[in-house]
Amino acid sequence: MNPIQNILVIVDPTAQQQPAVAKGAILAKQLAARLDLFVCETKAARDLRLGRHLRLSPQAPFEEKLIPWLESLAEPLRREGIEVTTEVVSADPLHAELVERVKHTCAELVIKDTHHHSIAQRTFLTNTDWELIRSCPVPLLLVKATPWSTAHRIGAALDPGHMDDKPRLLDRCILQEAARFAAALGGEVHPIHAYIPAAMIAAATMSVPPIVIDIPAEALEEERKSKLKELTAITSDYRFPEKNIHLETGGVVEVLCRLARDCGIDIMAMGALSRRGVRRILIGGTAEDVLEQLPCDLLVVKSPNFAEMLVL
């Protein structure tokens, strides 16, 4: 695992709040990393800024150039001892420029703020967040306006028990990144595994329409013990407190969102596979579904060989 020495923050020039800058500064300070503040100005963003300016200050001249504004964000951070660079480019469409930027960045972490998107936007429109989830080659931290707590609890969504080495490697990467963030922020890691018992899945698929089938408690307990053994094995090197390890039955999205609320998780780390071809237009990945409902920030982790795992 390479050290985080450079952090790329994608700054939204149309936003009133800049949680990505604020949280990037916290991490840069704790990790002694450089912060690169990057703006991609599109025609739509410029029109939005102009419209807002005409509503609020119609008599004042419109500042077209963004460098002075970006520098106003950077200067307070420099006074705190953080090395900060700024850059503004103009390009359309936004997602294409940002994907190219993060693919060729020297940063070990990319941070961007995120907002709720409707089903129509997720299904039919090219959305920057979805494209970055699929394409960003380094950990991607998608942040919301909610500030981190002083506890800095980091969730690690795992799926142990795979026979394939690639998902196993991804789980190890998720744990490594979660542990790194917890160490930098003085927080703690909460490994999480959600599963639906195999007996319930089998019962549901055996009957159409589904009917209530009595499943022996012994079978459920036996599977739970097996899952707990797998979860314990993959987390054993870290010596996490037993109370921090969560094995829950239920759908992944429901469990992660519930535990994020109940445990006060600040950042949820989870893995994502990149998808190409016709599947690019369909939003079906767990990381993408969780992002819409999660009450905390999302850290998307890829394994080092993620390019080999593309689904064509």
In sequence order, the 6+-apart residues with CB closer than 8 A to the CB of 33 are 4, 5, 6, 7, 27, 108, 109
> What's the confidence (pLDDT) of residue 20?
96
In sequence order, the 6+-apart residues with CB closer than 8 A to the CB of 163 are none
> What's the confidence (pLDDT) of residue 185?
96
Q: What does pLDDT average to over the chain?
A: 82
Residue 310, pLDDT above cutoff 50: no
Task: Give the tens place of pLDDT for each residue, 132-185.
Answer: 888 888 999 999 999 999 999 999 999 887 655 567 788 999 999 999 999 999
Query: Hey, which CATH number is domain 1-113, 3.40.50.620, 3.40.1010.10, 3.60.9.10, 1.25.40.10?
Result: 3.40.50.620
CA distance 132 to 114: 11
Stronger pLDDT, 56 or 22, i.e. the higher one = 22
Residue (of 241, 24, 291) closest to 148 by Cα position: 24
Cβ atoms 101, 88 nearer than 8 A: no
Q: Where are the domains of the chain?
A: 1-113, 149-312
Same fold, 1-113 and 149-312: yes
40: which strand partners? Answer: 89
> What's the confidence (pLDDT) of residue 304?
76
Q: What is the CATH number of domain 149-312?
A: 3.40.50.12370
Residue 20, token pair as written in the block? 């990505």
What's the predicted TM-score (pTM) here?
0.86
In sequence order, the 6+-apart residues with CB closer than 8 A to the CB of 183 are none
